[in-house]
Structures are given as C-alpha cells and as structure tokens.
Amino acid sequence: MIIWYLCVMKLVFATANLHKVKEASQILGPGFELSIPADYGHPEDIPETGNTLEANSLQKAKYVYDAIGMDCFADDSGLEVDALDGAPGVYTARYAYGDIRFKDNLDKLLYVLDGQTDRRARFHTVVTLIIDGKPIQFQGYCEGSIGLKRIGTGGFGYDPIFIPAEIPVFQADGSWSLVPNTDGLAMAQLPDGAKNYISHRGRSLRIMAEYLATLVK
Ligand code: ITT
C-alpha cells in the first residue's frame, strides 16, 4: 500500500550501505521518508547471488519485502569498463576480493588498466521498487572514464577514480546545466548535489520518483 502521511512517502531502502542512503535521501528529498532493514531488526547483509545487476537488485528488494512486508526499493550498482568487456560490472563490490595482491577494489582496477589508453567506463544502477508486492525496475547510467590515480575525498567507493564525461554547472536561476568535464574532475571532487545530478543513482531514483508520482495522482 502506498502510505502518505503529510505528503511523505515511506519506503524501506534495501541496503546496508549508508553512503547510498545519504545520497538517496538527498536525491528523493523531503517528500520521502527512508528507513533501512536494520531499523526493523534486519542488520544482516542481504544476499546477492545473481549474475546481473537486474537479478541482484530484484533479489535484494524481494528479500526485504518478504522480511518486513513494507513497500521498498533496492539499488544494485556496478562499474562497466569498456576495455574489460563490461567488468567488473555485477562484481564491482567484490572486484579485489580474495586477491592478496591488492589492498582494495580501486587498487586492482588501476593495476588492471595500467597502460590502457581506452579508459571509457560507466556507472550503472538498477533500482527495483516493490509496491504492494509488485516489482518494477528503473535504470540509471553515468558515462565517464577511469582516471590514472585517486583524486578527491567526496562520495564513496570508486568515486576517486571515476571521471564523469559531463559535470553540472550551477546557473544563476538555480538550475544546473551540463558541460564537458574538460578539467578531468573526479566524481569524488564534486559537491554532493552535483554528483547526485549526474549520477547513475540520481538518474534511476528520479525516474522512480516520477513513476511514484503517477500512482498517487
Ligand atoms: P548494498 O548491496 O547493501 O546496497 P553495496 O555497497 O554492496 O550495498 P552494490 O552491491 O550495489 O552495493 O555494489 C556496488 C559497488 O559499486 C560497491 O563496491 C560500491 O562501492 C560501488 N558503487 C556503487 N555506487 C557507487 C557510487 O555512486 N560511487 C562510487 N562507487 C559506487
């Protein structure tokens, strides 16, 4: 059931990643009240055993809907690198797992791309929304490339080595416009609002919000 209370929509975000929760709250704004499975006594890692972002996103959302019984959504995200035929993709969170040569995922990706001139890549998010038990998916992409080293301290995950192709510039009228990222700024150098405007998560969640708005008209 869609619950409106003082025009606020309550949704459980099926994640244990608090960076995602912070971004989703900023992206969706005050019309949404987000909670997480840990708020309902489910702090465990939600299983992700699929071979695609779509499958894992659906698995996470269904797990939480079955456990908690509230309208919810999940976000499964991956970094798709052209020179690696789309890897690490669905394995982005575990890219360096078990490989003792690398201290973390970014370290491994920089190593694997050493000397590679084609560094094109994109972040891809699949959001699965479950309302009244019915799932629907939304896609979001952010095109860019993999930098040569880590830059910046904002965002999370791969943001210090992801160079978005376009960045938003704040206009005097309060809107954003997109311009080519000629300075090669990393995602981790952008303010939160700028990242959310161009990010895979921002794009997919805004489409979800538009869809939800159609349900309550
Ligand atoms: P949940 O499954 O609990 O939501 P997670 O961190 O495991 O959290 P994913 O399975 O979607 O999330 O894995 C996504 C991986 O991609 C993970 O390594 C993240 O650090 C990275 N990632 C996702 N979104 C990102 C973003 O906006 N910026 C940088 N890295 C991101």
pLDDT in tens, 138-186: 999 999 999 999 999 999 999 999 999 999 998 899 888 999 999 999 9
Task: Give the residue, out of 77, 80, 92, with the most ligand 1 atoms within 8 A of its beta carbon, to mutate for a pocket test.
Answer: 77
Establish whether residue 158 lines the binding site of ligand 1, counting it when its CB lies within 6 angstroms of any ligand atom: yes
pLDDT band at 87 (very low <50, low <70, confident <90, very high): very high
Cα separation, 199 vs 190, whole angstroms: 11
Residue 47 carries which DSSP code?
P
* Least confident stretch, 4-18, 63-77, 122-136, 157-171: 4-18
- Measured in Å, residue 70 CA sits from the centre of ligand 1 at 23
Cα separation, 29 vs 27, whole angstroms: 6
String of b and e for 44-69 (b: at least 16 CB within 10 Å)?
eebebeeeebebbbbbbbbbbbebbe
pLDDT at res. 174: 84
pLDDT at res. 176: 86
Residue labelled with tokens 């990393």:
186
Residue labelled with tokens 């160079």:
163
The domain ranges of the chain are: 4-215
At 186, the amino acid letter reads A
Residue in 138, 116, 140, 142 with CA at minimum distance from that of residue 127: 138
Catalytic residue, chosen from 45, 76, 107, 132, is 76
pLDDT at 113 exceeding the cut of 60: yes
Cα separation, 193 vs 11, whole angstroms: 22
Q: How much of the chain, in percent, has pLDDT values that exceed 90?
A: 90
pTM of the shown model: 0.95
Catalytic residue list contains 76 = yes
Peptide bond into 88 cis (omega under 30): yes
Backbone angles phi, psi at 125, to 5 degrees: -120, 135
pLDDT at 11 exceeding the cut of 60: yes
Establish whether residue 157 lines the binding site of ligand 1, counting it when its CB lies within 6 angstroms of any ligand atom: yes
pLDDT at res. 175: 87
- Measured in Å, residue 17 CA sits from the centre of ligand 1 at 7
99 SS3 class = coil
Establish whether residue 92 lines the binding site of ligand 1, counting it when its CB lies within 6 angstroms of any ligand atom: yes
Backbone angles phi, psi at 123, to 5 degrees: -85, 140
* Least confident stretch, 6-15, 32-41, 67-76: 6-15
CATH architecture of 4-215: Alpha-Beta Complex (3.90)
Establish whether residue 159 lines the binding site of ligand 1, counting it when its CB lies within 6 angstroms of any ligand atom: yes
pLDDT band at 213 (very low <50, low <70, confident <90, very high): very high
pLDDT at 201 exceeding the cut of 60: yes
